[in-house]
Structure 1
Amino acid sequence: MLKYIFTLLFPFLLFANLTYDTNSQKELKLLDSFDIEPSFLYDPVMNKIKRKIITKDKHFFRAMNNAYTFIPAIKNALTKYDVPQEFLYLAMAESNFRTKAYSNKRASGLWQFMPRTAKRFHLKIDEYVDERRDLIKSTEAAAKYLSSLHKRFGKWYLAAIAYNCGGGRLSKAIKKAGSDDLKVLLNPKKKYIPRESRNYIRKIVALALIGSDEQYLLSCEYEHLLNRANAYSIAAVRLSSGDSLKRVSKIINIPLRDLKDLNRHLKYDFVPPYARGYDIYIPYIKLAEFKQKYKKQPINKIYKVHVVTRGDNLSYIGKKYGVSYRVIKDFNHLKSNRLSLRQKIIIPIPKRSAKRKLNSRDYYMVKKGDSLESIAKAHRVSVKNLRAQNNIKGSLIRVGDRLRLYE
């Protein structure tokens, strides 16, 4: 009888053993991609972090689902610069895959770049774009940064730690410890590196272990996360100067909201009025349709046209339409503020709308009587934050200025 029962159960026991071996091998391979020793699987603090993430798995899966469309593109960008794909989870640790993530230290985007570091890696931040929020450009910048850190320190886990606390801080820690061994650097009593950095590398590994655990994903009914095909990836396409996202959404028949989600680096609902145009992202499955249907259209056919009358000036026109005078000036390629009677001025708002303001909850246009203090109080932000985000040294602001509020 026992022999009969064992015969029946043997395939299941064998399958369970194979599954265990497969998971174990995957975990060891994952640690190896970070240059971390296998014994780290038993690190008590890392496992505590892992359990905590699992108990709040709704947050984990929400983040993974939100990033489902662009995760293949991020992995491809990392591979392009020879960075292990597991560093995808560094972005998850940094921003929870929210492209609009912004910290009180002025770090922004998926990879939480500071303005100075963004500039170092040629990410543009201006009136129209913040490329720290660009899915691909920010990932390529992060990959270049991580590659440079790996070249400097020789191990991927050191590159991850340096990304968090800075290369200089890590160099001092290694010199003080007399070792770059992870177990030594994580010593809680010696405190060679900040506590945040000690838990940072642990969180990245914990997230990666969860994200690669097939049995866990299957048991939670999230097996679709294991099957990300290139069909769910994105493609870059070039729009002509100042073109409207709304127009593109109609051309390729996708909701405007979905298009905006892929292009959070754009500060307006149009691409910048740069002479050469500007790239945006669309779902890859829509690429053929875009190529077939998209044609450059004269900008005066897309937006409102204002004919200058006596007494008009850029400030007045901007106030009338709720558009910054600087934007109007850029859109019309004006070299000075002078206007002439009956001059036609492009106003980047929908053509059929007379006074519809640009849709942007994260910005505020300065009105007569405003001060930094009154704006800060009305929008529940600090004056210090307003100054930092808008590069204001004193308290001088002008009517028509467009201030960042919640970036």
Structure 2
Amino acid sequence: MNYLKYGFYGFILSLILSSCSIFQKDITYKQSTSVSLADEMQLEIYQDTATVAFEKSFYEEIEADAKKKKEVDLDELYASFENVPEENLPVFSPEQTALQVNAMSGSVELKYTDEVQKYINRFVSKSGRKYMSKMLALSQLYFPIFEQILSEEGVPEELKYAAIVESALIPNIMSKAGAVGLWQFMYGTGKEYGLEINGNVDQRCDMIASTRASARYMRELYQTYNDWLLVLAAYNCGPGNVNKAIKRSGGDDFWSIYEHLPRETRRHIPKYIATYYAFFYHTDLMIAPMRDMVKYTDVRTVMVDKPMHLGQVAGVLGLKEKDVAELNRTYLKGYIPAKENKSYRLVLPTYESGLFASYQDSIYGYNRSEYFSNEGKLIAKKKDIYPSYGVNGTGTRISYKVRRGDYLGRIARRHGTTVRNIKKWNGLRSDRIRAGQRLVIYTNKTPKTYRASTKKVKAKGKNKKLPYLPEKYVYHTVKKNENCWSIAQKYEGVTQDSILELNKIINPSALRVGQKLRIKEI
């Protein structure tokens, strides 16, 4: 056939076909005067044994390589790390580390800084490697759960490393500020995102419920900041501090507002990046998960619709009660307060979770008189394997109504406790309170003492006048409509209570315009 009549394309086609005789055996041409030129030249190749053979060989080779990588015995690889002398452990230069960090960036934009390097140095030190080894072991249980939930909620999976920075993957840990759990929820924020928190149940310690709540909180923060590092910053120090830093700096990403953030948050994000780095390159750094640290990593959940104790679950399913408790830190006393219209989640090893449905009635009745009274009330004494998470205090629980002129320092002194405790019991992020607000307080004082103390404090209406020492203190001149709380917001690291204490103020409502207040020591 004369292909030249089709012009340039025909010429090219004739060259290809003349140089490949194997194609000419198996090609059928479609010609029609009623179709376009392009359709006339369309070829159907039914068989090309040479090409098929080449492709099959090529893809088999790729699949074999991939299979080899998957079949690497990680236990064997990790075991090889144990015999490497300390002086032979890999060390990367700052230039190499910077390239490695930059190569990790995905949805979360990472940046190498001196502060990041400082934390990396800690993690690759002798004690740091041991810590990371523990985190790698714990992650085998928690990370598959985190990844699934973060993905479902539209949050980058890289944010799973934030849980290590927040809690070191300890489900029942409590911070000094009163934040609890893997994702460090304060009481108020936890309740806001649907977590149940009471004397029997604290879902801030629930690996599933707390992760879901955390993902939703972070997703909402992202809608505000459109920067995942800013989300982590706001998660750590609160949106208010991030907003102030943005306003002061004029920036709109984490690194542009870095210098204006609280010191703890300036450390928090570099630590997150360094943690991510240590996990991402743990085999290159020869860090292996700690052996035998986590007993169960393959777990499933079942729903419980009858009240029962974890001791009953363990007894029937042949597990240790301590192991069941470690998977279910949610239940503060080991008691699952389920009922017909309210079921609760129970985490079990995969095999035992399959047995639960068949043995649920047996579990419910197992040694029941040791755990519950005839009326169904819990009578089993709380064991040490069920630690308290700090939601409740000691002493008498009272509900205190905040009065005009009250501040946390005064309330704490009046009830024989501390500001930190009051904030912890009530999930307060700041020292700000308002008249009429109800606070939960645990105290060993009697109500009569409160009334006498209140009258005594109320009688002292005048504040002491202190000497003016500008060489020792930073001062603030009170303006119209300002109070101690609003003044504290203008200075980093300053609280309403610290101003009251520093100025010996006993009646905050007695501030006057033009008054000079000590803010902090120079």
Distance in 2 between the 1:133 and 1:222 partners?
A: 23
1:348 aligns to 2:378 (yes or no): yes
Instruction: Tell me what 1:7 maps to.
Output: none
Equivalent residue letter for 1:131 = Q
Alignment equivalent of 1:212, drawn from 280, 283, 290: 280
**C-alpha deviations, 1:270-315, integer Å up to 9, x for none?**
201544332111123432222343336666961349xxxxxxxxxx
Tell me if structure 1 keeps the 8 A contact 2:302–2:347: yes
Please, which runs of 5 or more residues in structure 1 have no aligned partner?
Answer: 1-22, 306-330, 333-343, 351-356, 373-381, 399-407
Alpha-carbon distance in 2 for matches of 1:363, 1:143: 22
Q: Using CA pairs below 8 Å that are at least 6 residues apart, which structure has the higher relative contact order?
A: 1
Q: Secondary structure at the match of 2:191?
A: helix
Task: Name the counterpart of 2:18.
Answer: none
Q: Structure 1 CA distance, aligned partners of 2:253 and 2:363?
A: 59
Q: CA deviation at 1:176?
A: 1.9
Flag the 1:110–1:346 CA change in 2: closer, same or farther, 3 A: same
Alignment correspondent of 1:31: 105
Say whether residues 1:244 and 2:309 are aligned partners: yes
> Take 1:363 and 1:196, find their aligned partners in 2: how far apart are those partners?
23
Q: For the residues of structure 1 that align with 2:253 and 2:425, how far apart are their CA atoms?
A: 39
Q: CA deviation at 1:161?
A: 1.0
Structure-2 separation of matches of 1:83 and 1:366: 36
Match of 2:189 in 1: 117
Following the alignment from structure 1 to structure 2, what is the Cα–Cα distance between the partners of residues 118 and 288?
31
Please state how far the C-alpha of 1:181 moved relative to its aligned partner: 3.6
Q: Are 1:201 and 2:269 matched, yes or no?
A: yes
What's the offset of the Cα at 1:395?
3.5
State the AA in 2 paired with 1:173.
A
TM, length-normalised to structure 2: 0.53
| Structure-1 separation of matches of 2:298 and 2:364 | 31
> Is contact 1:232-1:285 (8 Å) kept?
no
Match for residue 417 of structure 2 among 359, 378, 383: 383
Superposition pairs of residues 2-401 of structure 1, within 5 angstroms: 27-28=101-102, 30-36=104-110, 40-41=111-112, 43-55=113-125, 56-186=128-258, 191-216=259-284, 219-222=286-289, 232-275=297-340, 276-295=342-361, 302-304=368-370, 344-349=374-379, 357-359=381-383, 360=386, 362=388, 383-384=417-418, 388-389=424-425, 392-393=440-441, 395=443
Instruction: Name the amino acid aligned to 2:305.
Output: S
Q: 4+ residue runs of structure 1 moved beyond 6 angstroms?
A: 23-26, 363-367
- In 2, Cα distance between the equivalents of 1:301 and 1:371? 33
Q: Which amino acid aligns with 2:280?
A: S
Q: 1:393, 1:123 → 2: CA distance?
A: 21
- Paired residues of 1:303 and 1:346 also in contact (CA < 8 A): no
Contact 1:304 1:346 in 2 (8 A): no
Give the 3 Å change call, closer, same or farther, for CA 148–395 of structure 1 in structure 2. same
Q: Output the CA distance in 1 between the equivalents of 2:143 and 2:311.
A: 25
Deviation at 1:205, TM superposition (A): 0.8
TM-score of the two chains, using structure 1 as the length reference: 0.67
Q: C-alpha displacement at 1:175, in angstroms?
A: 2.4
Partners in 1 of 2:288 and 2:346 — Cα distance?
Answer: 33
Alignment partners' CA distance in 2, 1:253 and 1:299: 15
Instruction: Give the length in aligned residue pairs.
Output: 312
Q: Secondary structure at the match of 1:82?
A: coil
Structure 1 position 397, deviation (Å): 8.2
Q: Conserved in 2, the CA contact under 8 Å of 1:108 and 1:133? A: yes
- Whether contact under 8 Å (1:304, 1:348) holds in the other structure is no
Change (3 A) 1:260 1:361: closer
Equivalents in 1 of 2:196, 2:104: separation in Å? 34
Cα displacement (A) at 1:27:
4.2
Q: Quick one: distance in 2 between partners of 1:366 and 1:25?
A: 49
The CA distance in 1 between the partners of 2:249 and 2:241, in whole Å, is 12
The farther-off stretch of 262-271 and 389-398 is 389-398
Percent identity, please.
Answer: 24
SS of equivalent to 2:337: coil
Q: Secondary structure at the match of 1:235?
A: strand
Alignment partners' CA distance in 1, 2:393 and 2:154? 46
Aligned equivalents of 1:211 and 1:118: distance in 2?
28
RMSD: 3.6
Q: Where does the alignment leave 5 or more consecutive residues of structure 2 unmatched?
A: 1-96, 398-415, 427-438, 447-522
Judging changes above 3 Å, is the alpha-carbon distance between structure 1 residues 295 and 164 closer, same or farther for their aligned structure 2 residues? same
Describe the shift of the 1:64–1:195 C-alpha distance in structure 2 as closer, same or farther (beyond 3 A).
same
